Structure 1
Amino acid sequence: MNRRAPLALAACLTAALALAGCSSASSASSSSSDSSANPSANAPQLKVSGGYMPRPVGDLAAGFLVVTNSGGAADKLTSVTSDISDDITIHSTENQKMRKVKSFDIPAGGELNLARGGNHIMFMGLKQQPEQGQKVGIELHFEKSGPIKVELPVKEINYNPAQR
């Protein structure tokens, strides 16, 4: 038996796994709802759902969504960017008082729920007024995971999925 055969087989398997990892990263970066490039149990596995923006009345708007982490490690939402505003912050709401925060925790096996009356994304100094039925593109940035692009459908001013 040739002693080099197992070594060559191991090298081929390593190369194949590396190439598979590269193709996963490419498809994950183009996905609008999944930031996971490496499905490791020790990494965050983020998915975004339920996003929307009530139609703004003035030059302020709010955004709401859910980030689910099915991975084995926690992550943090650290910022949000969008073409619609250069001034976007994330806000915590406690005892009906809103305050800007640096990040939101997304626990392993848990979720971050940004909802009316609670934590949310705040858009200030809107560059344009989105109308009901349009979509606003945003990009969520995380401490560990890559960015996730999301389209928030613009809903009626008083839209609240919790009451539907």
Structure 2
Amino acid sequence: MRRAALTAAALTGALALTGCSGSGSGSGSGKADLSVSSPYMPQPVSADMAAGFLTITNDGGAKDELTSVTSDVAGEVTMHSTAGGAMKERASFSIPAHGRLVFRSGGDHLMFEKLKRKPRQGQTVTVKLGFAEAGPLTVEMPVKSATYNPSTGH
């Protein structure tokens, strides 16, 4: 009788935990778990505009959305998608659960407009990323040479 009661209690506990897991797979609750890797800005060639690149990884069980980007170095930071050689400004980018959003040279990217100062190689630029669900993330983006092309991470 005691064994049956313990087995029933164990099964009830296991079912309760399964019900709380959200997606039921991998890390996670039903929340996004965001991190940033490989940030960089090529040293701008113009005095008023620069590009920025990074990867946002979501290890969580729910999607999120990048909705804003700000930086003290620029009057405005905009997000752009690139398809078939055409660049289009976007208000947001989705980051799927257990997925990534990659901003890379020749693809989706950030544009730092109305620069307040021209970032130089070796400096860092502070960037604040805003999301629909998760709290903001602050990233230090190193300024690389104008011809920098990462061989990994993108």
Residue deviations 1:19-73, cap 9 Å, x none?
xxxxxxxxxxxxxxxxxxxx85100000000000000111110100000000000
| Structure-1-length-normalised TM-score | 0.74
Whose Rg is larger?
A: 2
| Structure-2-length-normalised TM-score | 0.79
Separation in 2 of the partners of 1:132 and 1:145? 31
Superposed, 1:1-164 pairs within 5 Å as: 41-58=29-46, 59-162=48-151
Unaligned runs of 5+ in 1: 1-38
Runs of 4+ deviating beyond 4 Å? none
Separation in 1 of the partners of 2:152 and 2:135? 33
Amino acid paired to 1:85: A
- Looking at secondary structure, tell me which structure has more helix per residue: 1
Aligned length: 126
Separation in 1 of the partners of 2:97 and 2:110? 22
Separation in 2 of the partners of 1:139 and 1:146? 11
Amino acid paired to 1:96: G
Residue deviations 1:100-159, cap 9 Å, x none?
001111000000000000001101110001110000001000010100000100000011
Separation in 2 of the partners of 1:163 and 1:41? 30
Give RMSD over aligned pairs.
Answer: 1.5
